[in-house]
Chain A
Amino acid sequence: MPESRKSPINKTEKRPRSILLSFIKVLRSFSTAVPMLCGVILLMGLFQIFVTKEMIASVFTGQMFRDTLIGTLIGSVSAGHPISSYVIGGELLIRGVDLFAVTAFIVAWVTVGVVQYPAEASFLGRRFATLRNLFSFFLAILVSMATVTILMVIR
């Protein structure tokens, strides 16, 4: 596995001789991650300013199934604090967007990370990152359907 060669962390049963040595190793390992993490943070800043709530609200069509898929797609490519997804989701509900779509949107927002994908693939492997994001995408739709259906039943 390529990523097994990336880390200076001990792979044998032996521990580092001192805690200081351990921290030096970890800091060296972490420093290799800094450019990638800075890139992701810069991308998220761009997203926050360039993609407005109005832009997100304008893509919903009023059709439940299509909107659920659109909600999942928009949530997947969105980035930022989860509170933003609640605020946007709340506004979408007020504008008449279906709860299925809004739920899929807020679930995909926090579970699928298109913006973070390069960093995830670099650290955890491309196959793992791809599978995880793909499954999270489809699970966002399923979680949305299950949640809203249960709410309809217990209401």
Chain B
Amino acid sequence: MSTGKKGDSRSGLYFLVFVVAIYLVLFLLKPEKTLPALRASGNMLVRILPIFVLVVFFMGIMNYLLTPKTISRYVGQGSGIKGWLLATSTGILSHGPIYAWYPLLRDLRVQGMRSGLAAAFLYNRSIKIPLLPMMVYYFGIKFALVLLLFMMIASLAEGKLIELFERGPKALG
């Protein structure tokens, strides 16, 4: 794991170089598929650019307005049921790909956000209200509703499990 901003960007660069190397090898072997893959990635990037702008906007505002004390009150150790409700609802309402939200979550965790709430937020991102009609079309309304209910329960279970495992070594040590 990287240990700082330099290390962080360096590991990202290594990963990017690794992926570009895969593209180069695949381009030599299957150019007719590699170029469409590159095009698909370009289209994906264009689609999610507004989400990145939104995330940077949120991060800027939160950095300016919120102190660790405020964050601790809403999503920190003492946040209780309020924190779980906040993580669940914001997870369901958030848009865009999951990885667009990693930088924001990193900053919130640095300022004291509970790991379990971060996990619950990420799990609930899989519940897409705008896509509900599509799910109903393929699988039916009963299936969609029962599945979403169990996914919300699973998000809370995952958050609790992560906190239990993260506290484990400390409790033993």
Would B19 and A16 count as touching, CB distance under 8 A? no
Distance in Å from the Cβ of B64 to the closest Cβ of chain A?
4
Q: Tell me the chain B residues, 33-48 only, with Cβ under 8 Å from chain A.
A: 33-34, 36-42, 44-45, 48
- Which B residues lie within 8 Å of A25 (CB)? 63
A-contact 0/1 string along B42-86, CB 8 Å cutoff? 101100100010011001110111011100000000000000000
Partner among B99, B128, B134, B138 whose Cβ is within 8 Å of the Cβ of A37: B99
- Which B residues lie within 8 Å of A14 (CB)? 67
Would A6 and B2 count as touching, CB distance under 8 A? yes
What DSSP secondary structure best describes chain B's contact surface? helix
Distance in Å from the Cβ of B55 to the closest Cβ of chain A?
8
Would B15 and A87 count as touching, CB distance under 8 A? no
Q: Tell me the chain B residues, 139-158 only, with Cβ under 8 Å from chain A.
A: 139, 142-143, 146-147, 150-151, 154, 157-158
Q: Is A122 an interface residue (CB 8 A)?
A: yes
A contacts with B, residue count (CB < 8 A): 79
Would B166 and A127 count as touching, CB distance under 8 A? yes
- A50 and B33 in contact, given A29-B103, A42-B20 (Cβ under 8 angstroms): yes
Which chain A residue has the least Cβ–Cβ distance from B14?
Answer: A35
Would B109 and A41 count as touching, CB distance under 8 A? no
Given contacts A3-B109, A126-B1, 17 further A-B contacts (CB under 8 A): A2-B4, A6-B4, A7-B106, A9-B111, A22-B64, A23-B56, A23-B60, A27-B60, A36-B16, A43-B22, A45-B42, A50-B33, A116-B98, A118-B15, A119-B102, A121-B1, A132-B119
Seen from chain A, the residues whose Cβ lies within 8 Å of a Cβ on chain B are: 2-16, 19, 22-23, 25-27, 29-46, 48-50, 82-83, 86-87, 89-90, 93, 103, 107, 110-111, 113, 116, 118-128, 131-132, 135-136, 139, 142-143, 146-147, 150-151, 154-155
